[in-house]
Chain A
Amino acid sequence: MRYEKPTTVEAATALLAGQGARVLAGGTDLLVQMRSRVLSPDVLVDIKGIDATRKITKDASGYTIGAAVTGAELKEHPTLSKDWPGLVEAANLIGSTQVQGRCSLGGNLCNGSPAADSVPGMIAAGAVATIAGPKGTRTLPVEDIMLAPRKLALTAGEFIVSFKIPARPAHGGDAYLRFIPRTEMDIAVVGCGVALALDAGGTCTAARVSLGAVAARPLLVEDGAKALIGTKVDDAALAKLEAAVRAACKPIDDKRGTVEFRIDVAGTLAKRTAKIALERARKV
């Protein structure tokens, strides 16, 4: 196996267009899969040498977060946690403190697990990926990137350089909750991200609801958003949200949870998550 650390996007896409190439960002999934021989890449392309993958920039339109920025760095950013606390919390739930020192939004998404914690957080926040490839750069909403377990909408030579997170709406708030059997170190059995915006009177004007680990890919639940928009996010709206979320779940039975359990808990978590997002929206 070869290890390459290109410093430009072009060099990276050229390397990635080759046979058996694989992106290395934080490596917290990749190295485990290499060790267990699930993956045996011929070339590892370490994208951390490319400046754009490693920085967070902020302007009037929002944030641009490099795909290889670590969870710990997201948390340490002076304003990101204030604007998008749910997104940062979601990213910070990936693995341990040690894993936080390495794991990234790009890696968490491109590992292709429906249970990735940061992905529903990003989807709820309306994140859009900037994808570089041999034919240039394109953008794609995060919810359209993962198609099925281990299957992405990226073509040969493409990789995610960064994510664009919109500016937080005036009265906007987001939150992410997941269910795991322990308090840490588990893969999400259910994950739920909610972002919403209120008008001056406290009525919900926009919402995005996303679920992880309840289907073959992370879901953007349109009906969940509809349940909230136009309401004061009261108990009736939350009950509708719960029902919409449960209806959207298409989970499997596995070692981490049952179909019944995942559907139940998704509804419970959606309500709890929406309440936190609401509180946050009211405070800003």
Chain B
Amino acid sequence: MTAADRLRDDILLLKRRRQLYTAGILVFLLAIMVGGYDQANDMNSGSFLKGLEKFFDYPGEIVAEAWAAGADFPGLLLRFLPALIETLNIAAVATILGGLGAMVFAFLGARNLNIWPPLVPVSRRLMDVMRAFPELIVALFLIYVLGSSPVPAMIAVAFHTAGALGKQFSEVNENIDTRAVEGLGACGASWLQRMRFGVLPQVLPNYLSYFMLRFEINVRASAILGFVGAGGIGTELRRTIGWGQGSGDETAALFVLLVLSIFLIDQLSSWMCQQVARTEAMA
């Protein structure tokens, strides 16, 4: 047997083994899907096949009632605008405060910036723990202590945001080109000046895009937290849905407002990122 033959056999063996692994993984995933859906269907209070027939009933009912409301529909949108603004405020304040916290964590937790080495692991673990807290838990606890108000939701979302954005920010910080910082250091720039002129210009565009993405996520999260008593659009939704039939027009108005605001934020963030990219290209 020549060396080439042996090589060919090796390659074929490797290939066969890979195919086996791939097939194994696919079978495993398939088993999870089939078994999981079967199990989930058993645990559910309604069954899938019966539900499938009714799937369009509820959306249909909402649309029909909104259609029946006709000319009053824009008035409904206007009536729920304060609730939407409250939800947007919760998300915006939480993103700003959480973002500021995240920046502190990110600078302390970046291995390449050497701000205070003992703090690097502390800051990273702290971010991990804050990220792991589902907003729901913090919100429920704070609602119990502070009463029903937007503030508990805001704090809960900000808490999670500080951890989640902090991780993304610190990854950005670790990927910067340190030559700019070293150059500034060589001409005698202070630590603050090195950060201001060497690091910030490199990281801000990425920070901005993560920040806007997080804002969109937080709007969704704040809307959901309304269901447990945090105020805003979620609280209104729980009310109108609890009333059942007849309030479909109000539910539809709330859905429209929520979807519209998420769409607008999405457009705004991509526009802002394009603007920043254009300024970068000119500079």
A binds B: no
Tell me the B residues contacting A by CB distance below 8 Å.
none
